[in-house]
């Protein structure tokens, strides 16, 4: 469970983001782009619950810096989506969840997320994206 979160709060966050995933239709499938995967297939690996604490500062910042900020920062190719810091990626967390879970990010030609990076990022997003 996340520090400072009640199990009810964690469950609520999980349900809310799960509903967003269902509404925006980002479930991986055979037809999904697979640029962001090592295996060439988009895994169905959305976490069911917030089992372990994941925070931006301790776990996610490094993944974002290595895999996202090279394009998603001011002056970069996708600078209109500024992920150079916590607040930028937090503002767009639902879209980030959709893009990462649907294997549409990282894009073709970019290094794919490792399984651990993907698990860390998805867990953080599903669990409310704490700082």
pLDDT in tens, the chain (131 residues): 334 434 444 444 444 444 444 433 444 544 445 554 556 789 999 998 887 889 999 999 999 999 999 899 888 888 789 998 999 999 999 999 999 999 999 999 999 999 999 999 999 999 999 99
- The confidence score (pLDDT) of residue 68 equals 94
Q: Does a structural domain hold residue 59?
A: yes
Residue 2 domain-assigned? Answer: no
122 occurs within a structural domain: yes
**Quick one: pLDDT at residue 16?**
46
pLDDT score, position 49 = 84
Residues 6 or more apart whose CB falls under 8 angstroms from that of 119 comprise: 45, 47
Torsion of CA 77, 119, 40, 42, to 10 degrees: -90
Q: Is residue 110 part of a domain?
A: yes
Residue 37 lies in a domain: yes
Domain that holds residue 28: 7-126
Within a domain: residue 90?
yes
Query: What pTM value is reported for the model?
Result: 0.72
With beta carbons less than 8 A apart as the criterion, state whether 123 and 54 touch.
Answer: yes
Number of structural domains, the chain?
A: 1
Output the pLDDT for position 37.
55
Residue 15: predicted pLDDT: 46
Q: Which residues of 38-48 are buried (b: 16+ CB within 10 A; e: fewer)?
A: eeeebbeebbe
pLDDT at 6: 42
Residue 43 counted as domain residue: yes
| Angle of CA points 57, 97, 2, to nearest 5° | 45
């Amino acid at each position: 469970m996340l520090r400072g979160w009640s199990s009810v709060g964690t469950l609520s966050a999980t349900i809310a983001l799960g509903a967003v995933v269902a509404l925006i239709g980002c479930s991986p499938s055979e037809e999904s782009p697979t640029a962001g995967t090592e295996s060439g297939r988009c895994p169905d690996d959305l976490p069911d619950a917030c089992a372990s604490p994941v925070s931006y500062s301790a776990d996610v910042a490094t993944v974002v810096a290595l895999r996202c900020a090279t394009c998603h920062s001011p002056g970069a190719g996708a600078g209109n989506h500024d992920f150079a810091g916590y607040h930028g990626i937090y503002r767009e967390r639902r879209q980030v969840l959709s893009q990462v879970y649907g294997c549409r990010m990282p894009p073709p030609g970019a290094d794919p997320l490792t399984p651990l990076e993907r698990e860390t990022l998805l867990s953080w997003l599903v669990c409310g994206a704490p700082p």
